[in-house]
Amino acid sequence: MAIDYKKELENAARNMIFVHDPDLLIKMIVRMMVNKAKITHASFFLYNREKQGYMLMVSKGSLGKRIPLDLICIDKDDVLIHFFREHKSSFIFGREALLYSEAKSALENLKIKQETKQQLAQVLYQMELLETVVCIPSYFRGELLGILLLGKKENGRKFFDEELDFFVALNSNVAMAIRNAQLFKELEYQLDRKHQLFVRTTVALAAAIEAKDHYTHGHTTRVTNLSIEIAQRIAEKNKNEFDAKFLENLHIASLLHDIGKIGVPEHILNKRGGLTIGERNRIKEHPMIGVNILKPIKELEGSLLGVRYHHERFDGKGYPEGICGKQIPLVASIISVADSFDAMNTNRPYRSALDKHDAIHEIGSLSGKQFSPLVTDAFLELCKEGKF
């Protein structure tokens, strides 16, 4: 059955748009060429900036003719590379494809410069070593991005012009798709680096809080770990996983839930005696101070609810807004239990830490009053299992 090359080209171009992994894209195209055109083997070499050469990315076809992956890198100064970088194939044969039989004949019959003949002879020698009958370059904006090497057809027949034109057109599309995929991958890498920097900055901010409030050393880390454990237990109980974004918002919100304490005087935070009404009111300002500090950072938008509402109570007697029940965001309700439990277990300037079992009992007794029953139940289950 004859191949409709125009249709195959359109289908390949359409599919390439959705592939953002350069390696996968190259494998997909080479596999298609081997299967559709019934070629014994095919290989693709892609320019690698670090290696300063063209690395073998994929080799498909009959086992005996495959080139071992990771073993071949064609140097950027190699004669084969120079030949295509200088567009010699187009200059000599009128197309960006080098056919071994055509080039062999040209050496004997065409009137070309001796230097070019020598170069072509060396190129043909390399093609012989690689058992290649067709070389097709991939150019992006005039730069040689890669080279496709094709072996013989399985039926032993020679390649027709229609087939070569198809391979050249396909390889041209491949070059653009590869470059787009490389840019997409680079963007993902940069976003990942940015995210890692963002998380490290968040941890640094959390450390700044603890540096100011000497009696809460390790509090942020413990609250964060406990919050994540509670969230995962809630998800298990309800047979419904939280998405990655919720867990990330919870993670960051629990790290930064007390960042507003940066705006509270140290003499109040570290006061050994009881607090005056005015001093208590100053401490109650820390959730909104935290929100105002973090609001300009767009990436923290999803975490602000935890910072803002982690001192709200289920019965509506909390602060800063006095909201109640399901009005309180789940991320804040989780942090509220984790924060309160750790506070009860920690020595403070104005009181000693509670016994752990007493603290657990206290949390349980305040379910439906200070704390969300959903969150409290998950917390108590974890405690029974000895998780805390």
Q: Mind listing the domains of the chain with CATH numbers?
A: 5-185 (3.30.450.40), 213-384 (1.10.3210.10)
Mean pLDDT score, 182-191: 72
Q: Is the pLDDT of residue 181 over 60?
A: yes
* Contact predicate 227/258, CB 8 Å: no
Closest among 171, 251, 261, 172 to 216, alpha carbons compared: 261
Q: Is the pLDDT of residue 326 over 80?
A: yes
* Contact predicate 81/144, CB 8 Å: yes
Q: Is the pLDDT of residue 63 over 60?
A: no
Residues 111-145: pLDDT tens digits? Answer: 777 888 888 889 888 888 888 888 988 888 788 88
Residues 246-260: pLDDT tens digits? Answer: 998 999 899 889 888
The CA distance from 212 to 1, in Å, is: 78
In sequence order, the 6+-apart residues with CB closer than 8 A to the CB of 92 are 103, 106, 110, 112, 116, 120
Q: 51 pLDDT band (50/70/90 cuts)?
A: confident
Which pair of structure tokens corresponds to residue 295? 């609001």
Q: Is the pLDDT of residue 1 over 70?
A: no
The CA distance from 184 to 191, in Å, is: 10
Bridging pattern class, strands 134-140 and 98-99 = antiparallel
Mean pLDDT score, 291-303: 84
In sequence order, the 6+-apart residues with CB closer than 8 A to the CB of 72 are 45, 55, 56
